[in-house]
Chains A and B, each alone.
Chain A
Amino acid sequence: MKTALKLASFLGLSLTVVPAFLVFAGTITWTTHATLMALGAVLWFVTAPFWMPHDAPV
């Protein structure tokens, strides 16, 4: 389960940054990039709290 959540989080981060490079390459439009980034943000914040460690030693 934790592996699946980590994969989803990784996908969220990928959706945050990869579309920008696709806009730069002319592959997708800016609007599509903005939509995918919003989706990436939701995916990251929904999944990351379930596996990122809570301890803040310093």
Chain B
Amino acid sequence: MRANPTSKGIRASNVPWRYIVPALYILFLMVPLYWLLNMSFKTNQEILSTFSLWPQQFTLENYLLILSDPSWYNGYINSTIYVVLNTVISLAVALPAAYAFSRYRFLGDKHLFFWLLTNRMAPPAVFVLPFFQLYSAFGLIDTHIAVALAHCLFNVPLAVWILEGSMSGIPREIDETAYIDGYSFPQFFFKLFAPLIGSGIGIAAFFCFMFSWVELLIARTLTVTEAKPIAAVMTRTVSASGVDWGVLTAAGALTIIPGAVVIYFVRNHIAKGFALGRV
């Protein structure tokens, strides 16, 4: 601040020095990530014996082990399956509900909306035991659909919230004109309305993907072997003989990739999409 005697200069967008704040922040974010990557390219021997800022003997062994062992890479496949299932289910039920909330008043609408949001506030730890019993009763333990349904607990309310916000940004006259033009509701919804709220749907899908991908407590509780998520598979690198640091870090590094890909696709909508969520 001292560098600018007149406060006016700070506001101009071509002042480069203020960019140092986001730059430093990004550096702070990247250093631990770099350390993870750095270790994943080292052998265990090197990790434990020498301390170096980059791999002295560069190796891909840790990654090859994960990509060649089904019990490892199936973890990634399992996670992907239930995350995609969850995103599809969440959006499928949230779209009509969000439309109802944004277009109509009906008996108990406000209460219902807040009640939905309270599910987003429920601590997953509360649900660990009852979920296990419920899904056992239905014989769904260790299936992908069980985890996908369980994650709907916090993803559906969020999807309704985001979609409702983005739908409310579209004027109601568009619906009315479409009905006058003879569109049926499904035709109108998929042909006209869905493209209009495209970025809202994208952002809702992004959030569903994100919260389902990162959750471990519930996913771990509901699976044994067949649908075990990668995050749970990782725990087996810790054994009595010590921790297999190389493989652990390589597996961790690989879990970042799907997220990075998804962010890349929605990068132009992130900022806009957030603003659409309405309270």
Q: Do A and B bind each other?
A: no
By a beta-carbon cutoff of 8 Å, the part of chain A in contact with chain B is none
List chain B positions with a Cβ less than 8 A from chain A. none
